Amino acid sequence: MPTLQPLHAPRKRSLHATELTPGTERSWFEFDRAAVLRQLDDINRAIAANAVELKMVAEEGVFERPLSGDLSRAARVLRSIAKDLTNLRKTVIRVDQYSQGSKKKS
């Protein structure tokens, strides 16, 4: 009795099919770095804007002196955080590849 043969033989996958080409890895890295930079920029803008608002409210004397002082200190802390985020952004820009420890073993 004849045996039935499939119309198309299934392709055998290479064991290394999941390995990334250098170009693909570079594209993914650039995508990830751009996403991180956007997040840092968004956070930095929000923090900087709120620092300005808190400083203005503190200087206008809307609240009593102790609370205005607290708002002024909070504004300074926020400006310091924004400066740290700016420095972190500069560090992210300087990185040019994934860390060697981030690669998954196949």
Euclidean distance between CA atoms 69 and 62, whole angstroms: 11
At 103 the pLDDT is 55
Euclidean distance between CA atoms 62 and 16, whole angstroms: 66
95, 33 Cβ separation under 8 angstroms: yes
Euclidean distance between CA atoms 83 and 101, whole angstroms: 29
- Return averaged pLDDT per consecutive 10 residues of the chain, 106 residues in all: 59 60 90 96 97 96 94 97 97 88 54
At 99 the pLDDT is 82
At 19 the pLDDT is 73
At 20 the pLDDT is 75
At 79 the pLDDT is 97
At 106 the pLDDT is 44
Tell which residue, 23, 36, 40, 29, has the closest CA to residue 102.
29
pTM score over 0.75: no
